[in-house]
Amino acid sequence: MGKIFAPVTYAVGREKVREYAHAVGETNPLHLDVEAARAAGHRDVVAPPMFAVVYCAQSIFPALFDPEVGLDFARMVHGAQEFAWGPLVVAGDEITTECEHTGVAERPGLRLFTFETRSVNQDGERVCTGTWTNIVREEG
């Protein structure tokens, strides 16, 4: 509890942003078209807000599997999710994310595991704070 995992840095690539934007059905040219993004004053294509799941992945996944956390992944479902966003993330940014295991709550037949991710860009600005709640059903 309270364990903080080593921060992981993710380099945001233009084609990854576009791939993600297509997969979630984004049509805003800011996410797809470099010229449109530049015309709007951005250095490169803009990551959709929910792209946070991509730059957080290498921080949150090891935490879910950490033996000290003790989460039975096979019985886990994603219960709730919150993101709070700061400045936009654009292709070319380097996002460093730290993950903390913030708690385990007991409910009848269930355990709720919560994690917080804190993501900053190369200028030290907080671009995203994530709260991840995973539910594990008790056996039997």
Closer to other proteins at the Cβ: 49 or 70? 49
Structure-token match 């991509």, residue found: 54
Among 22, 38, 43, 137, interactor with other proteins by CB under 8 A: 22
> How many whole angstroms separate alpha carbon 129 and alpha carbon 72?
25
Centre a 10 Å sphere on the Cβ of residue 82 and count the other Cβ atoms it contains. 10
Q: Using the rule CB under 8 A, is 54 a contact of other proteins?
A: yes
Q: Using the rule CB under 8 A, is 72 a contact of other proteins?
A: no
Q: Are 127 and 91 in contact (CB under 8 A)?
A: no
Residues 6+ apart with CB under 8 A from 126: 86, 118, 119, 120
**x/- track of binding to other proteins for residues 118-137 (CB under 8 A):** -------------x------
Q: Using the rule CB under 8 A, is 24 a contact of other proteins?
A: yes
Nearest distance, CB of residue 113 and other proteins, angstroms? 14
